[in-house]
Structure 1
Amino acid sequence: MRLLNIVSSPRGADSVSISIVNAFLDAYHRTCASVEVDTLNVWEENLPDFDSEAIGAKYKGVSKVPLNSAELSVWNRIQSLARRFQETDRIVLGVPMWNFSYPYKLKQLIDLISQRNMLFTFNGQAYGPMLKIPRALVIYVRGQSRNAGAGIGSPGFEHQTDYIDFWLRFIGVDEVKSLTVEHTWDAESQETVEQGKAQACAMAVDF
């Protein structure tokens, strides 16, 4: 069993999303002792830019034109990142809310690896997933919540969850489970985080 743990917070030991994911992973190790965890930290991977070389490599690949050395280098890096998704059985992803969305480094990873014939197919008319991953868990962490007191209107917080859920299903995750932990900035934060850890541990039983 291989599990891909995607870390999208740069805060290390101070990160709520990382602490709750780690609680889940500890519990999952007790349930599935043979699990191998591959941690992909978007802040430590030195992700290449999806720049002119990367885009050039993409379009040359579609046209079956040879790549130059710079294009080949970045395309090989993209393929190696995508391979970690191709080889995993489960995905766990911690997502702190940044401006009602997700960290830009996570979007950079998604833009790099979401390539035709790597994570999805396209025949000119319809898209299809390439992965066969039974389930993923996304842990969303928010400093506030979408309630009357927060003063946040629609679409607000759904923008964070809807896109990540869509993307995971698009590439081939059958079941996307989620846990949302809110009020991590106020007086309730310590209690909220502990509750989140307990809920994450409970979800590890049948993951």
Structure 2
Amino acid sequence: MKLLHIDSSILGPHSVSRTLSSEIVARETALHPGIQVIYRDLANDKALHLSGAHMAAWQGGAVEDKVLGADLATGSAYLDELFAADVIVIGAPMYNFTIPSQLKAWIDRIVVAGKTFKYTDAGEVKSLLPPNKKVIIASSRGNVYTPGTPVAALEHHESYLKSVLSFIGLNDVTVVRAEGVAFGQEAKEAALAKARADILQLAS
């Protein structure tokens, strides 16, 4: 088995999502001894945002810029890692009501027509990924955005991630969430305790 571990927080050792994603990986490793872990730190080794030069290269244009060439190779590696992974763990903090831009850059490299999905003649979307992949999202949020809260309508974070993953056929998605972590140390510790209890409930 292979596990793809992705972190996207810019907070390093102070990151709640990084803490949770590493504990999820530890849990999955305990459940599946011998699982191979591939790690991507998108904050410290980030891909470029898409540009016209990327589009031209994908359409067969010559690639003369070394930086662009290296970045295109990174995007291809992202796809290879996604296809190979049986389990995908994504550390995803909320920044300004949505995901970090570096995580969006990763998504822009894996949601590619003809690679991870295609449209049928009837206009339906068909996934091109191998089936039965499992995704676990380590979600952290400063406020509380669950349904019924005053700011629930501003949540474009987990909902976006689940939607875009489902679009390419990744429907087995579990969210381990710590929210309200900006409400003080006691609230943060309570949120982490709940998330850790959820991690212990993860099954093979």
TM-score, with length taken from structure 1: 0.85
Report how far residue 48 of structure 1 moved: 2.6
Q: Which runs of 5 or more structure 2 residues have no equivalent in the other structure?
A: none
CA RMSD of aligned residues (A): 2.3
Which residue matches 1:24? 24
Tell me: CA distance 1:85–1:168, structure 2 relative to 1, closer, same or farther (3 Å). same
Letter in 2 for 1:4: L
How many corresponding residue pairs? 197
Alignment match, 1:186: 183
> Residue 175 and residue 121 in structure 1: after superposition, are their counterparts in 2 closer, same or farther (change >3 A)?
same
Mapped partners of 1:103, 1:97: distance in 2 = 7
**TM-score where L is the length of structure 2:** 0.86
Q: Please give the alpha-carbon distance, in whole angstroms, between the structure 2 residues aligned to 1:161 and 1:147.
A: 10
- Select 1:70's aligned residue among 64, 69, 73: 64
Relative distance call for 1:182 and 1:15 in structure 2 (3 A) is same
SS in 1 for 2:157: helix
**Given the alignment of the two structures, is residue 80 of structure 1 paired with residue 77 of structure 2, yes or no?**
yes
Contact 1:50 1:111 in 2 (8 A): yes
SS in 2 for 1:128: strand
Alignment of 1:87-98 (within 5 A): 87-98=84-95
Alpha-carbon displacement from aligned partner over 1:151-195 (angstroms, at most 9, x marks no partner): 4252x12x2122100111222224111122111112311222122
Decide whether the 8 Å contact of 1:120 with 1:131 is kept in 2.
yes
Residue number among 153, 172, 177 corresponding to 2:174 in the alignment: 177
User: 1:145 offset after TM fit, Å?
Assistant: 0.6
Q: How far does residue 107 in structure 1 lie from its aligned partner after superposition?
A: 0.7
The CA deviation string for residues 46-92 of structure 1, in whole angstroms up to 9 with x for no partner, is 3133112101123x2xxxxx420238824433222211111111111
Code of the aligned partner of 1:126? E
Percent identity at matched positions?
Answer: 21
Counterpart-to-counterpart distance in 2, 1:10 and 1:145: 21
Of residues 72-81 and 89-98 in structure 1, the stretch that sits farther from structure 2 once superposed is 72-81
Q: Which runs of 5+ in 1 are unaligned?
A: 61-65
